[in-house]
Structure 1
Amino acid sequence: MGDVFLAGVAGVLPPAMSGADAIAAGAWTKRDAAETQQLSVTVAPADQYSPDLAVDAARLALARARLDPARIALALHSMMLTPGGRLWHGAPYIHRQLGVPAGHCIASDLDCGCASSLVALELASAYLGAREQGDLALVTAADCWREHEVDRWRTSNNPLGDGAAAAVVSRESGFARIAGAATSSNPELEPVGRGREPFSAEREKSTGPVYVRSRHEEIVDGELIWQTVAGEVQSVVAKATRQAGIELSEVDFVVCPFLGRELTLQQFLKPLSLDLSITPWEFSRRVGHIGPADPLAGLDHLVNTERVDWRYILLLAHGMGGISSAVVLESTGAAPLPR
């Protein structure tokens, strides 16, 4: 297949609401605040929608890559909520808004939970290997957590933030080479996101906010679940670093899902014997868990805002349904473009 590169990456985030304000309003608890150490989360205004944020992120990533959207042969979009309603998909909307010509591009949604953007990078890399050298792939992810659908402060142990991120994948050149990628799916973890409630007409008709935390609490052996997740993370990291030809100790930065301090340590860092200091922690604790956009938004912050010195960055994700993914990026030395 040859080398595959990230030619551009971008994140787009609305303004933040402080955790202190959420506590004062009775929307969040001091206990969760202490556990997550989250300072704020990004909150989109009511008239701002996730597909439009994804379009903005895609345009910025393409501008940074200095590449024509007409060359996009694959557009993969991920979102947990669909503002267009049922039986609607976001990827064709993004395809249309970017002005990508008809007939050349496959535009499709990808639902691997919060691992979607990394799974998309792996799929895009393989797809481009079968295409013309000049073809591009676009990976986008975005969510806005509306109050009537999800209680951003209480649905899980960690609060949710709004935002989008995008990456342009190329076989020609870029600021980073995809040096290794691995994904694992463990179906025994599927009930974590569904709970034990059976399929039923009543469940289908259910309205009101989703509380993922209550579904988790239905699982009998929660400790075993988290041990299994940790094992899956260890496995995909071992495969991705081996593919990249490096040791984990050679990684300069790690971008984990923005899950707050306790879950980030439990699910990702402790199993890998890593520390918060090599993550964009101070950034993530001001954003909240966007969903599938987390890894790309964190990468954007490191390379385009902080402009850190690095050779290897490890991107990690775990999605409901039992999918774990790891991607190792190697710097090509290409300087990022101005914002």
Structure 2
Amino acid sequence: MTRPMGDVFLAGIAGILPPAVPVEEALAAGAWTRREAAETQQLSVTVAPPEQHSPDLAVEAARLALQRAQRSPAQISLALHSMMLSPGGRLWHGAAYVHRQLGVPTGRCITTDLDCGCDSSLVAFELASAYLRGRDESELALVTAADCWRAPEVDRWRSSTCPFGDGAAAAVLSRQGGFARIAGISSLSDPELEPVGRGLEPFTRDHENPAGPVYLRSRGSEIVDAERIWPTVTRDVQQVVAAAAEQAGVAVSDLDHVVCPFLGHDLTKQEFLDPLSLDFSAIPWDFSRRVGHLGPADPLAGLDHLVNVERVSWRYALLLAYGVGGIFTAVVLESTRA
């Protein structure tokens, strides 16, 4: 059922990426296998130097997004940050750091982190859109996401089925216009998929404080009903995209570009492209295979690349993500410059 969206716009978008390191270096060091390289078709991943940390990358992305939006940090009334690893340690959140580093004055601004895995940025879009519709038109929402995938928390090359890249992205949402209107947005949570990111081990101190890196692929392989996972993911992707497209009044065939998580060739095809009957020409594939999986920043960084680097022409674009725990979000954007 179609419901009115209201006028919320994407006023600014920015991505900040460290230099890329060719996968050949990891292969030569024995950190990765040629079979995995062939399955992902990854060419390189972005790697931040040791002295660079994800919250500072997020601040840099936020400043650039605000500059492109021609808006002031003082207008921010909602700051939502996403990160899967916390360089500040436990019981610390990045949103307040980003907020402070931008020089936002004390006031009625909600600052908080979101923990929806790779879907966090798009969940932030849905929350921010609803929030702004109840606020003064001059107020802004800031969405940031950043991670640097370092040991001992993760193994950049082996923790998942695709290698991780370091980087950050930011978006500024406004009711006063921007380069794109949020024409449709939908989220779907599927509890059946919750164990995929947890595995089947009981809650124990050792499980909470692993001695080595987290291996998401091992957790997923523990699920006894794995044969049901992919049909479930396919159904959920189709449903959440259909709902967002219906709100926007478009069909999947009307979409000029699609940006989904950067998961390498085989997983991207299975998880997102096949369910929507799309091929790699629909996504910024060459960009993603040179960056790696950034985590929650993927959709925003991909859109930034299309809009501000390649400067593609488009009327409708889809941002799509699936987060650990079983949450999916689809956002249909309509260009205001078309």
Which TM class, normalised by the smaller chain length?
over 0.9
Q: Distance in 2 between matches of 1:202 and 1:255?
A: 37
Give the secondary structure class of the aligned counterpart of 1:28: coil
CA displacement, residues 259-302 of structure 1 (integer Å, 9 cap, x when unaligned):
00101000000010011101100000000000000000000000
Q: Distance in 1 between matches of 2:247 and 2:17?
A: 33
Equivalent AA in structure 1 for residue 45 of structure 2: V
Aligned match for 1:64, one of 47, 60, 68:
68
Partner residue, 2:35: 31
Partner residue, 1:45: 49
Give the secondary structure class of the aligned counterpart of 2:67: helix
Partner residue, 1:325: 329
Please give the residue correspondences for 1:107-146 in structure 2 after superposition, counting only pairs within 5 Å: 107-146=111-150
Aligned match for 1:186, one of 190, 194, 212:
190
Q: Distance in 2 between matches of 1:326 and 1:303?
A: 18
Equivalent AA in structure 2 for residue 42 of structure 1: T
Displacement of 1:100 in angstroms is 0.7
Stretch moving more, 31-40 or 195-204: 195-204
CA displacement, residues 228-251 of structure 1 (integer Å, 9 cap, x when unaligned):
111111000000000001111000
Partner residue, 2:108: 104
Q: Distance in 1 between matches of 2:223 and 2:166?
A: 28
Partner residue, 1:262: 266
Equivalent AA in structure 2 for residue 304 of structure 1: N
CA displacement, residues 122-158 of structure 1 (integer Å, 9 cap, x when unaligned):
1100000110010000000000001211001011111
Q: Distance in 1 between matches of 2:118 and 2:251?
A: 25
Displacement of 1:222 in angstroms is 2.1
Equivalent AA in structure 2 for residue 273 of structure 1: S
Displacement of 1:21 in angstroms is 1.2
Equivalent AA in structure 2 for residue 5 of structure 1: F
Q: Distance in 2 between matches of 1:196 and 1:204?
A: 13
Please give the residue correspondences for 1:1-339 in structure 2 after superposition, counting only pairs within 5 Å: 2-333=6-337
Displacement of 1:227 in angstroms is 1.5
Equivalent AA in structure 2 for residue 93 of structure 1: Y
Q: Please, what TM-score do these two structures have when normalized by structure 2?
A: 0.97
Equivalent AA in structure 2 for residue 69 of structure 1: P
After superposition, the CA RMSD in angstroms is: 0.9
Displacement of 1:215 in angstroms is 0.5
Q: Please, what TM-score do these two structures have when normalized by structure 1?
A: 0.97
Q: Distance in 2 between matches of 1:61 and 1:332?
A: 17
Equivalent AA in structure 2 for residue 159 of structure 1: P
Equivalent AA in structure 1 for residue 138 of structure 2: G
Equivalent AA in structure 2 for residue 199 of structure 1: F
Displacement of 1:220 in angstroms is 1.7
Q: Distance in 2 between matches of 1:101 and 1:229?
A: 43
Give the secondary structure class of the aligned counterpart of 2:258: strand
Q: Distance in 1 between matches of 2:330 and 2:227?
A: 23
Displacement of 1:2 in angstroms is 2.4
Displacement of 1:20 in angstroms is 1.1
Q: Distance in 2 between matches of 1:205 and 1:283?
A: 35
Partner residue, 1:337: none
Q: Distance in 2 between matches of 1:281 and 1:204?
A: 35
Displacement of 1:110 in angstroms is 0.6
Give the secondary structure class of the aligned counterpart of 2:270: helix
Q: Distance in 2 between matches of 1:308 and 1:204?
A: 45
Give the secondary structure class of the aligned counterpart of 2:118: coil
Q: Distance in 1 between matches of 2:88 and 2:235?
A: 37
Give the secondary structure class of the aligned counterpart of 1:118: helix
Give the secondary structure class of the aligned counterpart of 1:228: helix
Q: Distance in 2 between matches of 1:203 and 1:277?
A: 41
Equivalent AA in structure 2 for residue 119 of structure 1: V
